[in-house]
Structure 1
Amino acid sequence: MEALSSFILFLDSFLGSAFYFPWLLIGVGVFFTIYLGFPQIRYFGQATRILRGQYTKADAPGDTSHFQALTTALSGTVGTGNIGGVALAIYFGGPAALFWMWVTAFFGMTTKFVEVTLSHKYREKTADGTMAGGPMYYMEKKLNMKWLAVIFAIATVISSMGSGNMPQINNIAVGMNESFGIEKWITGGVLAVILALVIIGGIKRIAHFAEKVVPTMAAIYLIGAMAVIFANLENIGPSFAAIFEQAFTGSAAMGGFLGATFWYAMMRGVNRGLFSNEAGQGSAAIAHASAKGNEPASEGMVSLLEPFIDTIIICTITGLVILSSGVWSEKHQNTIDRADMTYVQGTYVDSNEEDVKNLFLHLNGEDGSNVEIFEGEIPVQNGVAVANNFTLIAARSIAEDVTYSVEGEPFTGTLEISAGKIQNEGVIVDGKSLIHSIKLTSEAFKRGFFGDWGQYIVTIGLLLFAFSTAIAWSYYGDRAMIYLLGEGAVLPYRVVYVGAFFLAAIIDSAIIWDVALVTVALMTIPNLIGIFLLHKDMRETVDSYWEHFRKNQAD
């Protein structure tokens, strides 16, 4: 697993974590925002009217209503990114990361508008009478770039597993295990069966499921979040201040948090913002292509509401829960994932300013750190290390009160450490460290009026959010498979999808998030290139919409 994690992160260094990626993502959004005259502001009111069905025509071609398409797309985006993803961004980059999630969402509203409009415009009707659309269709039909369309479709299939499927069930399984003690394989097995029953029905069953579940799950989650925010109301002002003050300077060290540079906070905020609302990824465009309508731009306007709801509202609320409760910079007793651990040479403490500075440089990949990775052996007696020539860096913090066990019994023996990683199989490491993802959000929800019961709201919310995401992404994947190999490939794909869903319930969570980083970028890069090349087509489509709209209004 550690070797796999290293390889995945190596790939990510050329994709989502590469220096060009946030500039490409935000840059395309900025370009279209200016080019189309700030549509995320100008068309917001029109989008809400279209969503309410004010201009709907019953005989328009398509499979779903505007509201069903929106909730299906939202069910694909409102998932672990809103619960665990925000926590992961703050864990990596501190309060500043939330600012960059907002930036990504604001310009992402325009990007979403563009990709959905073009996908709706160039959609096709399949042999079974349903609509199939997405970036691969405009790449082939308008750009005449079949090769780019194939790359995108393949990336969609991979991403359906790596971001829409596996992180969702992994976080559900972790949450159910920690809250209710349910074994991960049981959660994975039960939900895999339900998943199979839903996705067999195709887009219409998925859309009906989404339009009922999405509003319910949002209401449950917001009630729990507000209970924390109002319980820590005095910290809301300072939390906002920290977000804006550190946005362009990076986040300072605080408590167990060792700090993050501007670049690191920006990168993680942009990545998590994209994972949350998927603007620029092209995924939601596949769901919106099924919507009834003759005017592609009208569906594009509906879609610009997604990043607003998903990131600017829901992710902000999650972020304020985590920041105002203070849990993000506190160390918590936990079982530490191996992928989160690194042993370094020498003894470091976070009460020493020089130690913090050195570790800050080391963790953020900056020059000037003299931290060296530990190589060698560590003797352990009755679960406790008896040497002091090392420091365990766990979840980007200095671990404390560390104990080692095997099958529930204290470990006695020698730990073999190579490249800073434990080589002994079966050794479990417990200790106090920072926590991230769903664990961090669950801990934050305990700091409200509901006390420890707050974690169950997170678990229930996560179950609904993440499961609906997995359902929506199965549809994205099977549309991509139809494009690549025809309708006969859909059933085998669904079988593999359900199998991967089950397996991901028991795999190391850190590995799952690493996979998600890579697969999201694999879709986003070709899609951003495609929509940028079609900027003139996009403006013509929008102008045509308003011309027809004004004519119909006059009539």
Structure 2
Amino acid sequence: MNLIDVLNNIDSFIWGPPLLVLLVGTGMLFTFKLGFLQITKLPKALKLIFFAENNGNGDISSFGALCTALAATVGTGNIVGVATAIKAGGPGALFWMWLAAFFGMATKYAEGVLAIKYRTKDKNGQISGGPMYYILNGMGEKYKPLAVFFAFSGILVALLGIGTFTQVNAITDAINGSFSINPKITGIILAVLVALVVFGGLQSISKVATKVVPFMSVAYILICLLILGSSYKEIPETFALIVKSAFNHTAAFGGFLGATVSMAIRNGIARGVFSNESGLGSAPIAAAAAKTEWPAEQGLISMTGTFIDSLVICTLTGLSLILSGVWQSDLNGAIMTQAAFASIFPTIGPLFLTISLSLFAFTTILGWSYYGERCFEFLFGVKCINGYRATFVIMVLLGSFLKLEVIWIIADIVNGLMALPNLIALIFLSSVVVAETKLYMNHLNKKEDIKETIEI
């Protein structure tokens, strides 16, 4: 048995039915407890992205916190992750990605609420928050081992999973494919750029994220819409195929080997979590730094991250792959998505995807450097932060030397380890989330009553 076989066995054990049920089940719990808040309050949440009051304690604006979180989520999961999910699980994987994202919105809301509720400050006066703090401060000191486990897993994800290897590999492969630049050269340049930003801390990361993420997200969405527009008559049939494939075996065709329903479910949910990170516990680390006095307000803003990431960007990527037919080819990963773009825009399509993937992945690296840093600070204090940052940059450099298959397996494993303690904490503190939601909704109702009185 070789290394890949061993890693696959560990991955299958961690991402077995219990964790998948726990991920979706936690989202379902909050969905019902909060009265389908991801539907009823989505318009309010989208409005808050741009019009939040930002009048509370924090290091960055609510929009900055969202962009930092989106910087960490909108990345290879949206381009490479969707492609690998559909390749392994067929079109039906996209359906399970939608399902995970829908319930994941409620989970992400709860994470944002608890992040603000239990945040604190480190010895440098910087905001610290996230699952390790709502486990410790919300559940109690006796649960500190769970908080430590989360923080340790978070560092592993930052250094070995989403934060470095998968992003670096995607960037170096895409640039090598488009410009024939040696991956090792790209890796060195990337490591230098990352170092220039991460040593500036959260403020530096947030400034880059608020400029790059909105621009590239809008540009990517527009290109995908143009691809869908070229085959708009086939869109209804494509949706029917996605739903049908979610519950039926996908027959082998061309280079595609065929996928079972279990493969569609596992790949759809696992890649969905990899992309939007709902339940993983990462986004609340950024949300905790937002300037707000209402936990539920940041919860709503955090919730939009999953909506934008999975129900918009991942959906557009998936539809582009299926409509273009490249999912049935021998291609995989970024090259598969590149082929979908090239089918409509032979010249600029692959070039645009290379630029998009590189920028998305670069900002993901920056976002995860901060997540890992806060986990490191929780375990070891502020004295060795620069040591962590230097280690992170070295791991970015090493990412250009590893193969795709090994990278994704490692990322899946450490993601699962990180999700488990966070999901336990969310369920334990669900009554706190409900109470904070009621407080905020009462606040909004009072504001509305005062506004109506003034108008009269």
Which of the residues 120, 123, 133 maps onto 2:119? 123
> Which one has more relative contact order, counting CA pairs under 8 Å at least 6 apart?
2
Taking the aligned partners of 2:114 and 2:210, their CA distance within structure 1 comes to 24
Higher normalized strand content (fraction of residues): 1
Amino acid at match of 1:251: T
Q: How far does the alpha carbon of each residue in 1:181-218 deviate from its partner, in whole angstroms, 9 at most, with x for none? A: 01001111001101001011111111111110011111
Amino acid at match of 2:125: G
Which of the residues 84, 103, 127 maps onto 1:107? 103
Taking the aligned partners of 2:297 and 2:73, their CA distance within structure 1 comes to 20
Q: Is the 8 A contact 1:250 1:263 kept in 2?
A: no
Q: Verify: 1:76 aligned to 2:72, yes or no.
A: yes
Percent identity between the two aligned chains: 42
Any residues of structure 2 matched to 1:245-324 within 5 Å, and which?
A: 245-324=244-323
| Aligned counterpart, 1:187 | 186
| Aligned counterpart, 1:53 | 51
| Aligned counterpart, 1:344 | none
Q: Verify: 1:37 aligned to 2:40, yes or no.
A: no
Taking the aligned partners of 1:452 and 1:55, their CA distance within structure 2 comes to 44
Q: Is the 8 A contact 1:251 1:265 kept in 2?
A: no
Taking the aligned partners of 1:227 and 1:534, their CA distance within structure 2 comes to 44
Any residues of structure 2 matched to 1:208-227 within 5 Å, and which?
A: 208-227=207-226
Task: Note the C-alpha offset of 1:229.
Answer: 2.1
Taking the aligned partners of 1:533 and 1:321, their CA distance within structure 2 comes to 40
Which of the residues 376, 381, 385 maps onto 1:490? 385
Amino acid at match of 1:498: V
Q: Is the 8 A contact 2:167 2:361 kept in 1?
A: yes
| Aligned counterpart, 1:532 | 427
Taking the aligned partners of 2:2 and 2:216, their CA distance within structure 1 comes to 37
Q: Verify: 1:437 aligned to 2:333, yes or no.
A: yes
| Aligned counterpart, 1:167 | 166
Task: Note the C-alpha offset of 1:116.
Answer: 1.4
Taking the aligned partners of 1:66 and 1:87, their CA distance within structure 2 comes to 31
Taking the aligned partners of 1:73 and 1:54, their CA distance within structure 2 comes to 16
Residue 76 of structure 1 aligns to a residue in which SS?
Answer: helix
Taking the aligned partners of 2:429 and 2:73, their CA distance within structure 1 comes to 25
Taking the aligned partners of 2:234 and 2:396, their CA distance within structure 1 comes to 39
Q: Which has the larger radius of gyration?
A: 1
| Aligned counterpart, 2:453 | none
Task: Note the C-alpha offset of 1:226.
Answer: 2.9
Q: Is the 8 A contact 2:24 2:100 kept in 1?
A: yes
- Paired positions, count: 447
Taking the aligned partners of 1:201 and 1:54, their CA distance within structure 2 comes to 26
Any residues of structure 2 matched to 1:540-551 within 5 Å, and which?
A: 540-551=435-446
Taking the aligned partners of 1:226 and 1:182, their CA distance within structure 2 comes to 30
Residue 142 of structure 1 aligns to a residue in which SS?
Answer: helix
Taking the aligned partners of 1:459 and 1:325, their CA distance within structure 2 comes to 18
Amino acid at match of 2:208: F
Taking the aligned partners of 1:233 and 1:551, their CA distance within structure 2 comes to 46
Task: Note the C-alpha offset of 1:243.
Answer: 0.2
| Aligned counterpart, 2:22 | 24
Taking the aligned partners of 1:442 and 1:305, their CA distance within structure 2 comes to 27
Q: Is the 8 A contact 2:52 2:62 kept in 1?
A: no
Q: How far does the alpha carbon of each residue in 1:219-278 deviate from its partner, in whole angstroms, 9 at most, with x for none? A: 332233233223333432322111011211232222221211111110100001000100
Taking the aligned partners of 1:207 and 1:100, their CA distance within structure 2 comes to 32
| Aligned counterpart, 1:377 | none
Task: Note the C-alpha offset of 1:552.
Answer: 4.3
Residue 164 of structure 2 aligns to a residue in which SS?
Answer: helix
Taking the aligned partners of 2:357 and 2:46, their CA distance within structure 1 comes to 27
Runs of 4+ more than 6 Å apart: none
Amino acid at match of 1:551: K
Root-mean-square deviation over aligned CA pairs: 1.4
- Structure 1: tracts of 5 or more residues without a match: 331-433
Taking the aligned partners of 1:238 and 1:29, their CA distance within structure 2 comes to 29
Higher normalized helix content (fraction of residues): 2
Q: Is the 8 A contact 1:53 1:66 kept in 2?
A: no
